[in-house]
A and B are shown apart, each in its own frame.
Chain A
Amino acid sequence: MEDKRQWPLYEVFIRARGGLDHKHVGSLHASDARMALDHARDLYTRRQEGVSIWVVPSNAIVASDPAETDSMFEPARDKIYRHPTFYEIPDEVKTL
């Protein structure tokens, strides 16, 4: 049941600067999306952390089940050939 005494929870994503992805930075309470944007601005961009904000109702996020961690993620562990670590990287390439 929804608790009317507490505002709904929102997750906050901030884009640090143009060209970068939005990153999850935390969560907050707000009565609606516009208030969530204001709160995100006041809570998470006080020190010039970003140039763009996304807020998402926390209950709109579908999360994987921690109980299924083994079956979800273990099978990838022994497939190191999926990492591109067998290539020789030319010296000219600075960042990869």
Chain B
Amino acid sequence: MSAPAPKVDSDSLFRYVLRLGDLSLVLGQRLGEWVGHSPALEEDLGLANIALDLIGQARLLLTYAGEIEGRGRDEDKLAYLREQGAYFNAILAEQPNGDFGQTIVRQVLIDAFQLELYERMATSRDERLAAIAAKSVKEVRYHLRYSSDWLVRLGDGTAESHARAQSAVELLWPYTVELFAADDLDRLMAENGIGPDLSEVHAAWSARIDAILNEATLNRPADRPHAWHGKRGQHSEHLGYILAEMQYLQRTYPDSRW
């Protein structure tokens, strides 16, 4: 073996856990926008269930992040009182819902990522993260079943649904690159056995996505370099609107409860 692994400082772990939690929180908030607007009552509940699973994951992760930070911030303070630049989700999660097909494509891409990520994180040397991952992986497995079933129906459906699904894939594909672009923080966690090696996650994700796209008769776009870094707090214009809506109540009536 090489030299002893570098120690993980609490600030790094804090930011890493927020990356995981913010991805679920922002995606869950986005999915919540469908409630009352889905193409069918059954889908309304299906999407809301997934949103609630994601927000449940975010609660566990943000609570843990607050404890790591040790400055008395709980899940609510972290969710409702952080500025956009202190959110660390990959920006794929904050992209607009668009039509139902676009929501489904975004969901497939992130579900498959979370599945591969949590499967590996279930054996993390950080026991708390391992426990959260073990719980979440069961939820995410169902999310991917739901979203990939839909993508196959849309892609291999009518000419109209196929065209819309393909254009959603083209639109969202560039944002997937960021999920797997490992920076110092990702590497630090991988070296210490806390988080998975993202290149490994990428390979597994890629094989899974290829199989789904193939069954859906959709084409996989080429990877392109990306110039955004939601994982470092640099977001697209969309996150501000999401936070404005999500945080409105706590910012207008601080500490209100109901």
Contact = CB atoms under 8 A, between A and B. Distances in A.
Interface of A: 7, 28-31, 34-35, 38-39, 41-43, 46
Contacts of B45: 39, 42-43, 46
B40 A38 contact: no
Nearest to B145: A38
B42 interface: yes
Contacts of A30: 42
Main secondary structure of the interface of B (DSSP, over half): helix
B40 A7 contact: yes
Given A42-B49, A46-B49, A28 B42 contact: yes
Contacts, number: 26
Interface of B: 40-42, 45-46, 49, 142, 145-146, 149, 153
A38 B49 contact: no
A39 B153 contact: no
22 contacts: A7-B40, A28-B42, A29-B40, A29-B41, A29-B42, A30-B42, A31-B153, A34-B149, A35-B149, A35-B153, A38-B46, A38-B149, A39-B42, A39-B46, A41-B142, A42-B45, A42-B46, A42-B49, A43-B42, A43-B45, A46-B45, A46-B49
A55 to B, nearest CB: 12
Shortest 9 CB-CB contacts between residues of A and residues of B: A39-B42, A42-B46, A42-B45, A42-B49, A43-B45, A28-B42, A38-B146, A29-B42, A43-B42
Given A28-B42, A30-B42, A38-B149, 11 more contacts: A7-B40, A29-B40, A29-B42, A31-B153, A38-B146, A39-B45, A41-B142, A42-B46, A42-B49, A43-B45, A46-B49
